[in-house]
Amino acid sequence: MAPLEPVYQLKCSCNSYPWGRQGEKSAAARLCAKQPGWVDQKDVSKPFTIEDKPYAEMWMGTYPTPPSYVASTGENLQDLLDRHADELIGNPVIEKFGSSMLPFLPKVLSISKALPLQLHPNKDLSSKLHEKHPDQFTDPNHKPEIALALGEFEAFCGFKPLEQISKLMHLDPLKKYMPSIIKPDFDDQQLKAVVKKMLEADDESVKETYKAITSLSEQEFGPDTYIPKLAPRLAEQYTEADPGLLVALITMNYLVLQRGESIYIPADGIHAYLSGDIIECMARSNNVLNTGFCPRSERDNVDLFISCLTFTPHSGEEAMLKSDSFDRSKEHKTIRFAPPMSEFDMLQTTLKGGEKESLGAVKGPGILLATEGSAKMKANGKEVELTEGQVFFVAQGTALEFEAGEEGLLMHMAYVE
């Protein structure tokens, strides 16, 4: 068992899904491979090695599938936190969330093709789904999340402004998806009906619409000239008959983020990530409803999906999560992403070679990732060599100091207080 410390280096896991990036092209896999192996009960080292297959997500934290382990001992991180809950999590956080489990789940995602068109159900629905179908919905929590770009990152996120969607729906190939009773002003209820019709359309109808819209000129799409260019790429990844094509291209915001930019996805918020490497963090949950960009057999019930659909954000600008200053950053080299939720904030520290930063203690626990570069790190005075790919659990009340190596440092830390 690990003794009580201000920080613990972790051993994390990287999973493989078809939408992940192949082998060494995956940032999630490259970072995971730079972590140390640990010694298990049989004294056998278990390093992670990259194979020629797609790697999608590196998970960091205490979600049980997959968990993180203390690198020096192989102990499950949650077991350590249960044993020293007051010292490592802190009583205020335990009282706030009702347990010694971390209320957030950070990941690194590497995306080569569109993830399923999806939403993460709200707490009330998640609780009901978990009770009825615990194998599919493995917890009773909601899952609002942020995605922070490590480079160029493409995503469909939330709905376009109603006026913009309304103009597109007047194109001849799309008129059949309008509700039978048309109001003078296109509103969210009509949009809900449009999305429902698109998701329920049979394969031939979707394929027919796809061929019709890709035959139109770019000018007919107004400001959305990307639609006929992006449609063939999505069809190649899935099929021309996938209803996610229509919902995403016609009704949703298509965003191209650059390094350091972030979006916020609320509970019940429709989204589909397309490509890029990102830091993702969410409330501690793995619940999801999928209705597109996946085989028909893997799609969830359309009525259920539509029933909890939220209409926020309603523009690309509303989806963006701006950073602000972190008031405990001594050298002002750290910014904070603070989504409108209680489970976590995210810090990003950027240092050039030799630069220093000091971060005052927070009142709750954190998960820290050396995303790029290296540094000498002090945690309440304890010195640690921080190198690219290393992940640390940071105990509540721990002050951190960094001195970057020659190549600089990019560090991300999710925390709660």
- Report the binding-site residues for Zn(2+): 118, 120, 145, 271
Distance CA 53, CA 110 (A): 12
Give first-to-last CA distance, the chain, whole Å. 26
Q: Which two tokens stand for residue 77?
A: 């991180």
Name the burial class of residue 298, with classes exposed (0-12), middle (13-18) and buried (19+) by CB atoms within 10 angstroms of its CB.
Answer: exposed
Tell me which residue has tokens 């201000």: 6
- Give CA 321 to chain center in angstroms: 13
Instruction: Residue 395: name the closest of 85, 74, 75, 82 by CA.
Output: 85
Q: Which residues are annotated as a binding site?
A: 118, 120, 145, 271
* Exposure letters 255-273 (e unless 16+ CB within 10 A, then b): bebeeebbbbbbbbbbbbb
Residues 6+ apart with CB under 8 A from 180: none
Q: What are phi and psi of 198, to 5 degrees?
A: -65, -45
76, 83 contact by CB (below 8 A): no
Pair of tokens at residue 42: 């049989």
Distance CA 293, CA 14 (A): 22
Contact 273/176 with Cβ under 8 angstroms? no
- Rounded Cα–Cα distance for residues 409 and 389 (Å): 11
**Phi (first) and psi of residue 92, to 5 degrees:** -60, -40
